Chains A and B, each alone.
Chain A
Amino acid sequence: MGEVGNRETNFRASGSSSPDLPTSSVISRRRKSLGNHATAYLFLLPGISVFLLTVIFPIVKSIQISFYKWMVLPGVPSPFLGFGNYSRALHDPVFWRALVNSGFYMLVTVPSQIILGLLAAILLNKKIRGRATFRVLIYLPVITSWVVVTLLFLYLFSGDGGFFNWILKDVLHLVNQDVQWFGSRWPAMIAMAALGIWKGIGWSMIIFLAALQSVNPELVEAAAIDGAGPIRRFFAVTIPAVRRTTTFISMMLVIGGFNVFIQVYLMTQGGPMGATEVLLTYMYKQAFTYLDFGYGSAIAFLLAAIILVLSGVQWRYFRPDADS
């Protein structure tokens, strides 16, 4: 991002220099720069105002709400609780279980999506027959709505004679009777993670593919001429080339992993008995079932804090410009 600043200064300098009239050029530069500010603001105004209203203001508001026992009815004063909602969360076993479930989902889905996405991208990087078709087929789950694929996996993982049970029982003979996938915690979490991985591979594939295509082919050839086999080439050329991209993908996937919501909401509603609750379903339940907006906001804010810390750590240790 350091590059950006330079280009801006270049742009400003070339936009307003007239070397033969020093005094008037100073005035006109000042006027021009004021004009530039105004022009920039005009271009920003429509989008930024909607963005401030619908995203930034809610962030601030959410912090405020989390400190109150928020009353939904108009006219009823909301008692101030300080950190009450936060300490309640830290002593709430369901909150911790939800945190572990969200964390499990994230830890299982992120590496799988990165590895399988990179694999697909490498397979598709060189010209091959049917390349565009393969790309579209692998990308298809990404563009399909979460609701549709969730219902589809609910069907595939169905407890009485669903497709996956048929594979496990009748084809592979790994189990003797149908697995009730959504009847207990870990099978349900595994089914949801399987859905998350399947849906996300195409996304990381496309981003990796874009990065791989900007790798200089001469570099690969040079390595090949130097006698590096495919595996050496992979670690010496490909991996360094996609490092920045991997950081970007990993950051986005960690955020996405903690945002797991629709699958749980539609597959198990957090059940049985709160066993598969994740942070966002628990937050949603607190807010829109029990109308406890304050507690819900505290959970949301804790989640946001976790996401911010994890993004910050990844940014720090694998900073995109640290290696080039």
Chain B
Amino acid sequence: MIVGNKKRTRLMTTSRFVALCLFSLVMVLPFLYMVSTSFKKYTYLFESPPQFIPKEPTLQNYVQAWTVGHFSRYFFNSLFVTSVSTVFTVVFASMAAFAFAKYVFFGKKVLFILLLMGLVVPGIVLIIPQFIIAKHLHLIDSFAGLILFYIGMNFSLDTFLLRGFMEDIPPELDDAMKVDGANAWTRFTRLYVPLSRPALATVTLFSFLASWDEFAWAITLINSQNKRTLPIAIALFHGQHATSWGLVFAASLIALVPIIIVFLITQKHFIEGLSTGAVKG
């Protein structure tokens, strides 16, 4: 009886493992194809059957994208815009989350509803009035215009997640610090920020991703070639070199590197941050 159970469990585990392998393979196959294409010399011809391993692998596409395609420039444009807006978003959102989680103040409910509206009406629905506002503020074709609006776009989700997390920090710790005469700022920086590390990692990842990948606002706001960020540079690059898929994918994979790095750094805290912040409802 017990032996039979064990056998069954092992069979279950094996079939689970096989199912996961197949699942992951389907998810990763497009990427593998992209990577292999980026190392191919001639990509304007489709091979049938498709070749997953390039016959004469070459780095030529990467070199060409980085130098001739000016992707080194676009890469650092993106890195600058994304880093600055991520830092501001996370700092501003954690401060606001602290106020929402631990204070009662006039207009709290209204502000919270506005915050929820920011969650429900995201993306490019507001791009027309945002463009008009940016024009009035003389922010067209500027990094400042990208950064300011990226902070606003990511603020509500980050505040929402962090608020959920900070609410669960036991008030006893807070009271103990208060008795010791610590003011709000000290309690925020010494207690709430360090204890919210998993949630902070999560919102940092979210904000970084959102700004790094943002396309619609950037393509609407930026006109100068030397101010392009990676997503619009890749899209326009594809428009110019429609058949040079190797070149397009080399540029795309260059854009993927920082994302993977940030993901691997933050992913340890990631699930923990999510399960305590977002999902509790």
Contacts and interface: CB of A to CB of B under 8 A. Distances in A.
Interface of A: 4, 7-12, 14-15, 33, 36-37, 39-41, 43-44, 46-48, 50-59, 61-62, 65, 119-120, 123-124, 126, 128-130, 133-134, 136-141, 143-149, 151-153, 155-156, 158, 160-163, 166, 170, 198, 201-202, 206-207, 209-211, 213-214, 244-245, 247-248, 255, 259, 261-262, 265-266, 280, 283-284, 287-288, 293, 296-297, 300, 303-304, 307-308, 311, 320-321
Contact of A137 (B24, B120, B234, B281): B24
B259 A144 contact: yes
Interface in B95-148: 95-96, 98-100, 102-106, 108, 111, 114-115, 117-118, 120-133, 148
A130 B21 CA distance: 10
Contact of A7 (B99, B171, B255): B171
B98 A43 contact: yes
A51 B119 CA distance: 11
B149 interface: yes
Nearest to A56: B114
A46 B92 contact: yes
Interface of B: 13, 16-17, 19-20, 23-24, 27-28, 30-31, 33-34, 37, 46-50, 91-93, 95-96, 98-100, 102-106, 108, 111, 114-115, 117-118, 120-133, 148-149, 151-153, 155-156, 159, 167, 171, 174-175, 178, 184, 188, 209, 212-213, 215-216, 220, 230-232, 234-235, 238, 245, 248-249, 252, 255-256, 259-260, 263, 267, 270-271, 274-275, 278-279, 281
Most B Cβ at <10 Å: residue of A58, A156, A320, A321 = A58
A202 B271 CA distance: 12
A185 to B, nearest CB: 22
Nearest to A244: B281
Contacts of A255: 120, 122
Given A47-B93, A210-B279, 19 more contacts: A12-B104, A14-B175, A36-B105, A54-B133, A55-B156, A56-B117, A123-B19, A128-B17, A140-B31, A209-B271, A245-B279, A259-B123, A280-B125, A283-B125, A300-B127, A307-B120, A311-B120, A320-B281, A321-B281
A315 to B, nearest CB: 10
Contact of A206 (B118, B123, B270): B270
22 contacts: A4-B167, A12-B104, A36-B105, A48-B111, A50-B148, A53-B148, A54-B133, A54-B149, A55-B155, A56-B117, A65-B128, A123-B23, A143-B259, A144-B259, A145-B215, A145-B230, A148-B252, A155-B33, A259-B122, A280-B123, A303-B125, A321-B281
A189 to B, nearest CB: 19
Given A44-B95, A65-B129, A50 B155 contact: yes
A151 B238 contact: yes
Most A Cβ at <10 Å: residue of B121, B128, B156, B188 = B128
B125 A145 contact: no
A214 B275 contact: yes
Contacts of B99: 39-41, 43-44
A307 B16 CA distance: 37
Question: Which 9 interchain pairs have the tightest Cβ spacing?
Answer: A54-B152, A47-B92, A161-B46, A320-B281, A210-B275, A145-B213, A61-B129, A58-B129, A40-B103
Nearest to B159: A47
B275 A55 contact: no
A266 B252 CA distance: 15
Contacts of A303: 125
B148 A300 contact: no
Nearest to B43: A155
A170 B271 CA distance: 42
Nearest to A138: B27
A211 B130 contact: no
Nearest to B155: A51
Most B Cβ at <10 Å: residue of A136, A145, A201, A303 = A145
A135 to B, nearest CB: 8
A274 to B, nearest CB: 19
B252 A153 contact: no
Most B Cβ at <10 Å: residue of A47, A134, A144 = A47
Contacts of A36: 103-105
B31 A62 contact: no
A62 B126 contact: yes
Nearest to A122: B16
Nearest to B252: A148
Contacts of B230: 145
A61 B132 contact: yes
B106 A37 contact: yes
B155 to A, nearest CB: 5
A144 B256 contact: yes
Contact of A162 (B20, B46, B103, B122): B46
Contacts of B20: 120, 123-124, 128, 130, 134
Contacts of A65: 128-129, 132
A28 B151 CA distance: 38
A146 to B, nearest CB: 6
Contacts of B31: 140, 144, 152
B30 A41 contact: no
Nearest to B106: A37
Contacts of A62: 125-126, 128-129
B79 to A, nearest CB: 14
Contact of B175 (A15, A198, A202): A15
